[in-house]
Amino acid sequence: MVSTPSLTSSVVATAPKAKAGRLPKAAAAALLICCVLCANARGQGAGQPANDAGPPPQTQAPDEKKSIPDAEVFNQDGRKIRFYSDLIKDKVVIVSFVFTTCTFVCPMQGESLSKLQAALGERLGSEVNLVSISTDPEGDTPERLKIWGLQFGARPGWTLVTGKKSEIDKVAVALTGAPVVKGEHSPVVFVGSDKTGRWVRAYGLAEPGKFAGLIDEVTAARVAPQ
């Protein structure tokens, strides 16, 4: 068998010798093109949806008061409710996004929320409410959401929400800036107080103690500028 010289050895063998300390113009141009392509690839990767469970930044600066739509939705018991009037108005809430056929992020987030509701104890439903919105409203019926919630011991004060996609999208756009898409999902939750108008994004797989601090943050009265 005749051996074929490698591409590297061929290039090295035929490349003209450069003066010491100087990079040939062709090589410099190739290096510049390489750097540009690598930078573009990194930029494109950053814009892709996050489908893994790696932690994003733990929190962001409080958002301005969100305008939450009073969309018509259904809870896990099949009861028609209004999203803002029944779930958000005058309440402190932790809002998450899930879908029942999710096999990776959602089960972990369900476990995290289950730990959180246990840590909240009697505060759940009276001081703090959990709201999980389906990103697959066309497939997730109230019955399916209830079964999913029961796996994690969902108690009164933890509401799972579905409905017409057009209605769910109104809520998703208000919170995230985009309509729901099944599968494009990261473990992010929104912690907010309707009374103070303060909202923060947080890592949905954080320990309960982390949420306690965020609840204090969003419920703290705003300090008027001096």
19-61 confidence digits (pLDDT tens)? 444 444 444 444 444 443 333 333 333 333 334 344 444 444 4
The answer for residues whose C-beta is within 8 angstroms of residue 200's C-beta and 6 or more apart is 59, 60, 61, 62, 63, 190, 191, 192, 214, 217, 218
The architecture (CATH level 2) of 72-219 comes to: 3-Layer(aba) Sandwich (3.40)
The neighbouring-strand residues paired with 74 are 80, 162
Judge whether 92 and 77 are in contact, CB under 8 Å: no
- Distance CA(39)–CA(42), nearest Å, equals 5
Q: What is the pLDDT of residues 123-179, one digit of tens each?
A: 999 999 999 999 999 999 999 999 999 999 999 999 999 999 999 999 999 999 999
The answer for residues whose C-beta is within 8 angstroms of residue 71's C-beta and 6 or more apart is 82, 83, 84, 163, 167, 168, 170, 171
Query: Closest by alpha carbon to 182, among 106, 71, 95, 131?
Result: 106
pLDDT for res 133: 98
Q: If you average pLDDT over every residue of the chain, what do you get?
A: 79
pLDDT for res 221: 67
| Burial profile 166-199: b = 16 or more Cβ within 10 angstroms, e = fewer | ebbbbbbeebeeeebeeeebbbbbbbbbbebebb
Q: How confident is the model at residue 222 (pLDDT cuts 50, 70, 90)?
A: low
- Distance CA(12)–CA(21), nearest Å, equals 18
Judge whether 44 and 36 are in contact, CB under 8 Å: no
Question: Is the four-CA dihedral 199, 106, 71, 156 of positive or negative sign?
Answer: negative
pLDDT for res 175: 95
Query: Closest by alpha carbon to 191, among 226, 218, 158, 168?
Result: 218
pLDDT for res 73: 98
Q: What is the pLDDT of residues 73-101, one digit of tens each?
A: 999 999 999 999 999 999 999 999 999 99
pLDDT for res 180: 94
Tell me which of 17 and 197 has the higher pLDDT: 197
pLDDT for res 66: 82
pTM of the model: 0.72
Task: Give the mean model confidence (pLDDT) for residues 106-127.
Answer: 96
Q: How confident is the model at residue 204 (pLDDT cuts 50, 70, 90)?
A: very high
